Amino acid sequence: MSTNDSTPKAIFNYRKFWAECLGPAPWLPMNRDEMDQLGWDSCDVIIVTGDGYVDHPSFGMAVIGRVLEGQGYRVGIISQPAWHSAEAFTALGKPNLYFGIAAGNMDSMINHYTADRKRRNDDAYTPGDKSGCRPDRAVTVYSQRIREAFKDVAIVVGGIEASLRRIAHYDYWSEKVRRSVLLDSKADILLFGNAERAIIELTHRLAGGEDIRGIRDIRGTAFITRGCQSGFREINSTSVDVVGSVDVHPNPYEGMAPEQCDAAEGEPDGDIALEPVRLLVTKTPDSSVIRLPSYEQVQSDPVLYAHASRVLHKETNPYNALPLIQGHGDRDIWLNPPPIPLTTDELDWVFELPYQRLPHPSYGDANIPAFDMIQHSVNIMRGCFGGCTFCSITEHEGRIIQNRSEDSIIREVEKIRDTSPAFTGVISDLGGPTANMWRLACKSKDIEAKCRKLSCVYPGICKNLNTDQTPLVHLYKRARALPGIKKVLIASGLRYDLAVQTPEYVKELVTHHVGGYLKIAPEHTERGPLDKMMKPGIGSYDTFKAMFEKYTREAGKKQFLIPYFIAAHPGTTDQDMMNLALWLKRHKFRADQVQTFYPSPMATATAMYHSGKNPLKRVTRQSESVPAIRKLSQRRLHKAFLRYHDPDNWPLLRDELKKMGRRDLIGNGKMHLVPSRQPPKRHKVVSDSSSPFATQHTGLPGRRRPTKKR
């Protein structure tokens, strides 16, 4: 399949592999005894994961395993292997085709460390909530151990950790730019984004006898090469960094003559001109590749890092993205365009595979907190067109929404009702990365295919976006009317700026689907940080709040909004945080859980944090600078403003307010932010952003966070 094919083969239309005759396994085997019970002499594919094995469509390893099983392959799982030697990786023998490796539903570093780089003492994806059951940088460690055990086996890496580390990336924990995980892991190929299309095509081609080192044309894959592939010509990234108008929808590369491309390649390392030029890439886009500044260049030059981040994010629309190439020494990392989104029929097929919807029986009664949170929830869609710069959803799942059908969703609700031993009649969520983007899309397929905007809702809602949430209202009504269903809650993160476009949706949500509290995330009140987050102004929150309170009164209920805010985001000043604290006090909010900005790999806000530049605009040496909150003392200050009501924070806030010339905010009146005197010391436990759910925004294919989402 050509990487520019926009009408790929349906994932359920491949000819099944011979092992289909064995039928689906009750559980994907985790040891030799389970293989023997199934009558298997070997596995075709073995998945290695850093999570406990939960056979549920919200867990990536189960999705990929069941998808491949649905194609006729025998799939085994090695879950949370002891990684200090290669022995645990031989538990199922050598696979006939390849090992598939994923860190789990979260990046292993975010899973292990808080935003202050403190080691976490729990792991919500591990039986018993135990920490220490996976290594740091799990994709790399697992790959190295497999190479020790089987030198000639094919290795495929994927999932959130590999996906967000596919090129040179800033690593918050080592405070340096690291090279692509492909090189560190020594894997043969990397799958990024939602991987069903890529993994199915790759597996069938390997089963057909192709060498994995020769498979270079599958969308959503990255691999190591030396130089440009045959038939492609390189375009220097600094010559095409131009954003076209959404209204006019021009070819963003129109006007460049082929002979002009070579000129950009002679520029010296570290001295690349960052002022882009309007040139035409080609009339046949599939023959061109954009060369990003090399790993060595972005490692030594933060401005080039910001530029590379900007270009990568501009090449994420699967219908117009070009391949990317980035040098790492004498080798290159080649990124094919993103995968074409799954159709509704395909997504239904993925979610209706024969999942047990339970943790593996070997775990006994040990609880897995992430499973406990989502076992009675239903994922209705994928993707997010919000484009929040601190979030990983768009980089991983894309901004084009992939929707399940209403009938498929209802069938899953009924399956939960009829089969879950713990079900009490309450569906905990009908959602996904966001609560209310189901069936929302561009009004024109042609415009959608040409658009290069990073967000459909920033700085305002695009006029080409369909915002009608009436179909979602119908889904909610149908789900709550099912026999045996007492309540259908909505726990996914709500885009309130979209919600207010359909008042009927807000009324249905508030009247029937809120369990006393509704968590939403305005993130800040001040325009400066909100612009760097690509979030709407606080006025959108005020509009939604008024509607929420109106429909709550009409329903005769007592319900409350719980707003979430982020401290220390790039572009935030001390003054901004003080203003936010005053807003919180004015509205009588007392935040119990504080979120501090966490620079996750490949996020746009992380590029701001590292480079001090704004990649939302054209990046030059003289372009806009963005303050980054790096010092621990300033990060603590910003968190203290969010928890202005905590006596432990009052000494710090008093000192800072004096420095800011705001002594008028110190005192014992209603207009004061903090008291002038300290009360007697008392023991208190404060909840901080120690939960990994507060910092990771997506996971493997079909994944969403089990708590608040963006």
Residue 354 lies in a domain: no
Same domain, 215 and 235: no
Q: Is 206 found in the same domain as 258?
A: no
Phi, psi angle pair for 404, to nearest 5° = -85, 160
> 283 in a domain, yes or no?
yes
The answer as to whether 135 is a domain residue is yes
Question: Is 205 in the same domain as 233?
Answer: no
pLDDT in tens, 111-157: 999 999 999 999 999 999 999 999 999 999 999 999 999 999 999 99
CA distance 109 to 123: 12
- With a cut of 70, say whether residue 701 has pLDDT above it: no
pLDDT digits (tens, 9 = 90+) for 658-693: 999 999 999 999 999 999 999 887 655 444 443 333
Total domains in the fold of the chain: 2
| 242 found inside a domain | yes
Q: For 13-46, what is each residue's pLDDT tens digit?
A: 999 999 999 999 999 999 999 999 999 999 999 9
Distance CA 558, CA 520 (A): 17
Q: Quick count: other Cβ atoms within 10 Å of Cβ 670?
A: 7
55 shares its domain with 155: yes
Q: Is the pLDDT of residue 535 over 60?
A: yes
**Whole-number pLDDT of residue 621:** 87
Structure tokens belonging to residue 535: 């979030």
Q: Are residues 194 and 238 in the same domain?
A: no
Within 10 angstroms of residue 94's Cβ, the number of other Cβ atoms is 15
Is position 17 within any domain?
A: yes
- Domain of residue 159, residue span: 1-220+338-344
Q: Which amino acid is at 242?
A: V
Last residue of a domain, one of 344, 372, 403: 344
Q: For position 89, what pLDDT does the model report?
A: 98
* 133 lies in the same domain as 74: yes
Render pLDDT for 234-267 as a digit per residue (tens, 0 to 9).
998 876 564 333 333 334 344 333 333 332 333 3
Do residues 42 and 107 both lie within one domain? yes
pLDDT digits (tens, 9 = 90+) for 428-473: 999 999 999 999 999 999 999 999 999 999 999 999 999 999 999 9
Instruction: Quick: pLDDT tens for 370-408.
Output: 999 999 999 999 999 999 999 988 888 999 999 999 999
What is the side-by-side strand order in the sheet with 331-335?
Answer: 75-79, 45-49, 98-102, 155-157, 189-191, 221-225, 331-335, 324-328, 288-292, 233-236
572 part of a folded domain: no
- Assess whether 136 and 242 both reside in one domain: no
Between CA 468 and CA 612 the distance in angstroms is: 38
If asked whether residues 4 and 144 sit together in one domain, one would say: yes
Identify whether 497 is part of a domain: no
Q: What is the pTM of this model?
A: 0.90
246 in the same domain as 108: no
164 and 283, same domain (yes or no): no
Q: 98 and 237, same structural domain?
A: no
